[in-house]
Structure formats: C-alpha cells, structure tokens
Amino acid sequence: MPPFFCLNFRHMNPRTKAVVYFASGAAISAGIIMGIASKKIDPAATPVEISEEGRPQYRWHPPHVPKAIDFCGEDVPVDKWEIREKLDREVLVNTYLHGTQLYILKLSGRYFPIIEERLKANGVPEDLKYVCVAESALQQNAWSGVGAASFWQFMKDTGPRYGLEVNDEVDERFNVVKATDAACMYFKEAKAKFGTWTAAAASYNCGMAGFAKQAEFQQASNYYDLIFPEETNRYVFRILAFKYILTNPRKFGLIVEDGEQYRPLKSRTVTVDKTVENLTEFALANGTSYKMLKIYNPWLRAHKLTVKPGKSYEIALPL
C-alpha cells in the first residue's frame, strides 16, 4: 500500500474505513472473475459446449464397457457382440442415474456390511449383494406393483417358504438379516438345481420353474445362451452394471467422500416373549419413541405384537 495512502487511511473514521474495505474487496473479486472469464477453455476438456443459440449444452458420452468381468467368479462372455451390447445398455442406462447411484452408495455404508456378513455366513458369493441392489436399490420400504417387498423383494407367499414370518403384525421381509438369510437359501437351492450362480441369479427374477422351462425348451443351460422375456433378458446384465459402477464409482464421477455414507445403526437388543399390546407404550418404557422403534424394526407392521407361547422376538432399540 503506498505511503500516502497509509497515512490518509490511518486518519479515516471507522465508517470511511469500512467503505474502503468493501470497495477494495469488490475490486479484487471483480478482477478475479474477469480473469477467469477471459481464460480460454479447451472445448475438449469440458463436458459443456455453447450451442448456436448461445446457450450452454452438456455433452454426454457413453461409458466404456469392461473388457472382462465376472459374476460370483463365473466369467461373462463379453467377447460375444450381443452379450457385450446387453451389458453396454445396462451400464449406459444406470451410469447417468446420478442421484439414484449416489443414494445407493450412501445406503451401502449402512446395509452392505450386514448383507456381506450374512452372505459369508451362508457360504454364498459376495457378488450376490448386487441382486439386492437390482431388486430394491437398498430401499427397506420398497414395494413392487405385485406385492414383493423390501430389500430382497420376496412375495408374501414366497417368504414363508424360506423361513420368513409374514402376517399382519410381523413381516420379516423387512428384516435385512433374516431376509438375506432367506435369499441365501434360495440361491443355494437354485445353484444346486441349475449348476451356476449366474443361473441362480437369473431365476431369482423369473422363478426356478420359469428358468427350467426355457432351458428345457431351448436345450441349453447357460444363461448367456438362452433367451427369456425382456425383464429376465436384462436382469443379470443389470446386476453386472451395478457391480461395475458401484465398485468403480469415481470412474463414473460418483464421489461419496469418507464420512458421507450412512453408517449401520447402533442398537441394543431386547428379547420379547410375551404379547405387547401397545408398541408406543413399550417404546416409551424402553427409553425411545414409537417412530424410532419402527425405524430400527421395520418388520413390526402393526401397533401391537402378538407373541404365541414358546415364541420370542428380538427387538432392536437405539443405544
């Protein structure tokens, strides 16, 4: 600052000084903005271009499809053009669902540790967690138009076949631990029937009977050699796309920093072996609210919990 300015500035009153500070800051900011605006940007280095009308226009590029990928250790024949194009479609469609993918990445911090632990405990490959993503996007309250519910989208009549209790008061399709165990039972049964985890995953969409019918008619057993109704045709490729995107999020511009993922809910467990007539009163008596009780136990579907003789339930409560 020039000496004459320093001398004059020292003799200014506080109000005048404030004006000078403001004017100086505005001038500096304007200079910075003008410098940035005048800087030439290589058009190839930005995803935005200016249209003939003078408006900014995003430029979209299809993502690269992996040259090799596997599912549960089983190679995907991406060297075949029609297989590669099917995978290309699902990677392309799901790459640009930015909000959905970022939300899944956040939710994965809460649910993947639980799901992975149950898959490992049941002796099935970790890649099967992406079936859960394809089914529900990790939404615990997801419902399909035909009544399939929660993480693994079990139907009301199918859940009990794999050990889930489903009634007006208790619906264990909404219990991520028990529903994952049930899904593992299905996958192991289907793997034993069809020989591969890929076929087991495909049958999760069309049913074991549906897969068997197509395999018998087409005289083939490899999913990639079969043609199905469109939903099943796309199903495994959608799972593969989720695996590819969610294991390489930064490659697709999906940035979830450390600490931004949702964490597993910390809880304590209370064993209930008698009927609870009022879950609000139960929650309050245990130091929480009905709202938090339902958040921690989404499988509780009514205002009461009937406990039959010899039966008990484990209820999670906030710490």
Q: In the chain, at which residue ranges do the beta strands (DSSP E only) sit?
A: 48-50, 56-58, 70-71, 74-75, 267-272, 313-318
Q: Once rounded to an integer, what is the mean pLDDT over residues 277-296?
A: 98
pLDDT at 56: 84
Based on the fold, state whether residues 271 and 199 are members of the same structural domain. no
Q: Once rounded to an integer, what is the mean pLDDT over residues 54-62?
A: 85
> Is residue 196 pLDDT above 80, yes or no?
yes
> Is residue 209 pLDDT above 70, yes or no?
yes
Based on the fold, state whether residues 125 and 191 are members of the same structural domain. yes
What's the mean per-residue pLDDT of the chain? 90
Determine, yes or no, domain membership for 245. Answer: yes
pLDDT at 274: 97
Q: Residue 206 is part of a domain; what is its CATH number?
A: 1.10.530.10
pLDDT at 58: 82
Q: Once rounded to an integer, what is the mean pLDDT over residues 254-260?
A: 93
Ranges 29-33, 45-49, 174-178: which has the least confidence? 29-33
Q: Once rounded to an integer, what is the mean pLDDT over residues 151-178?
A: 97
> Is residue 272 pLDDT above 50, yes or no?
yes
Based on the fold, state whether residues 244 and 187 are members of the same structural domain. yes
Determine, yes or no, domain membership for 63. Answer: no
| Cα–Cα dist 280/290, whole Å | 5
> Is residue 317 pLDDT above 50, yes or no?
yes
38, 58, 78 - which closes a domain: 58
pLDDT at 216: 98
58, 80, 101 - which closes a domain: 58
Counted domains in the chain: 3
> Is residue 17 pLDDT above 60, yes or no?
no
154 three-class SS: strand
Closest CA to 227 of 215, 236, 241: 215
pLDDT band (50, 70, 90) for residue 183:
very high
| Cα–Cα dist 235/244, whole Å | 14
Q: Once rounded to an integer, what is the mean pLDDT over residues 68-80?
A: 98
217, 252, 287 - which closes a domain: 252
Based on the fold, state whether residues 86 and 171 are members of the same structural domain. yes
**Matching residue, tokens 């008698």:** 274
pLDDT at 4: 39
Range of the domain at 288: 267-318
pLDDT at 258: 85
